[in-house]
Structure 1
Amino acid sequence: MSSTRVLYLLGSAAPPVLDVGAVVERAQGQGWDVCLGLTPTAARWLESALPTLAALTGHPVRSAYRLPHEPDPWPPATVALLAPATFNTLNSWALGLTGGSFIVGFAAEAIGKGIPLVTMPCVNSAFLAHPQFDRSIRTLRGAGVRVLLGEGGFVPNRPGEGNPTAYPWEAALNAVSEMVS
């Protein structure tokens, strides 16, 4: 798909990532050229679907950094959406701890490059009680990241009561469009 609007869709290992193919199709229907990046664990969860997802996007699905001598296989991002974003991913990103995670490294660097960023967590309410979570959300918002947490975004459920099919992907795609309009 050729387009001047490029969406980096970056997902971590939370159950809604299993529906990422449908999300790619919705984004493409809105005119986005989608590049899909995953945490290593999310890539493992989707391992059998990776060739199909690469064919769907027209770009390799990335879960690791490219080698220094390799060209970047993706066009430059217009905007990036990091969703679902787990507790680990959000805290690592806010603390600048990329730890070999391609998507966290990209998101951390994108702040400095001025690439518009949207994230939507996927955490249960027990994680919200951890003191680092609130600090991380404040840090990301303070850096200009649009965090979709609470009404109008992801509303955390009680532990063990999640419903991955209710993850508000449409709110995330709407926020992405708003960031660049």
Structure 2
Amino acid sequence: MTEHATKPFLYVVVCAAGVARDVGELIDAALERNWEVGVIATPLALRFFDTDEVEERTGHPIRSAWRAPGDPRPFPDPDAVIVAPATFNTVNKWAAGIADTLALGTLCEAYGLGVPIAVLPCVSEALTAHPAYRASVERLSGMGVRFGDPHSGEAGEPGTRPEFDWVRALDLVTSGT
């Protein structure tokens, strides 16, 4: 656990996918399990969920851009990181070591900090078949990143939407299975 926090601190990295609208489910589950939560969103993801609601739930501002030199750090170092939903673009850039957004820079750095990282991909079946994606998942898995089953985000029966297993990410980051 970080030195300054009374509770372990969880970074939730949110990418731009439709299921991001329900990220509050993950936040609520983490808070119930005694985590303090800070959200880092990709710039596009900010349009996919209610940012005011998320800030109210976490008690922290959402981070999406780099802080200016000399600005205080808004979050302590993470005790764990969850990427949910994780998109094709984010998984591939992260595996390649590209840190062109705060979210990607945070993910690249988290590996070096040695904290547990869990990923819930939200990637279509067509994109999961791409060789770059498969290689990226293999590379990140080899780095110790724990992946949940991919979620296509595609609608099932008319009027229904597939379930995204937000709580699975907490299980992955705490148990490693």
Q: TM-score, normalised by structure 1?
A: 0.86
Superposed counterparts of 1:17-166, under 5 Å: 17-46=20-49, 49-99=50-100, 101-148=101-148, 153-156=149-152, 160-161=154-155, 165-166=162-163
Number of matched pairs: 169
How far 1:5 sits from its partner (Å)? 1.0
Distance, in Å, in 2 between the alignment partners of 1:91 and 1:176 is: 21
How far 1:155 sits from its partner (Å)? 4.6
- After superposition, the C-alpha distances for 1:104-163 in whole angstroms (9 at most, x for unaligned) are 110011111212111111001000121101110011011111122xxxx33547xx4367
Q: Which amino acid aligns with 1:32?
A: W
Distance, in Å, in 2 between the alignment partners of 1:40 and 1:139 is: 25
Q: Which has the higher helix share?
A: 1
User: Identity over aligned residues, as a percent?
Assistant: 36
Q: Provide the secondary structure at the position in 2 that maps to 1:166.
A: coil
How far 1:178 sits from its partner (Å)? 1.3
Residue ranges of structure 1 left out of the alignment (5+ in a row): none
Distance, in Å, in 2 between the alignment partners of 1:60 and 1:74 is: 9
Structure 2 contact 14–42 (Cα < 8 Å) conserved: yes
Does residue 169 in structure 1 map to residue 173 in structure 2?
A: no
Structure 2 contact 18–48 (Cα < 8 Å) conserved: no
- After superposition, the C-alpha distances for 1:18-58 in whole angstroms (9 at most, x for unaligned) are 00122211110111101111110111233xx2223212111
The 1:104/1:174 distance shift into structure 2, 3 A limit, reads same
Q: Provide the secondary structure at the position in 1 that maps to 2:150.
A: coil
Distance, in Å, in 2 between the alignment partners of 1:29 and 1:142 is: 31
Residue ranges of structure 2 left out of the alignment (5+ in a row): none
**Cα RMSD, aligned residues only:** 1.8
Structure 1 contact 37–62 (Cα < 8 Å) conserved: yes
Distance, in Å, in 2 between the alignment partners of 1:71 and 1:50 is: 21
Q: Provide the secondary structure at the position in 1 that maps to 2:119.
A: strand
Moved over 2 A (4+): 153-157, 160-165
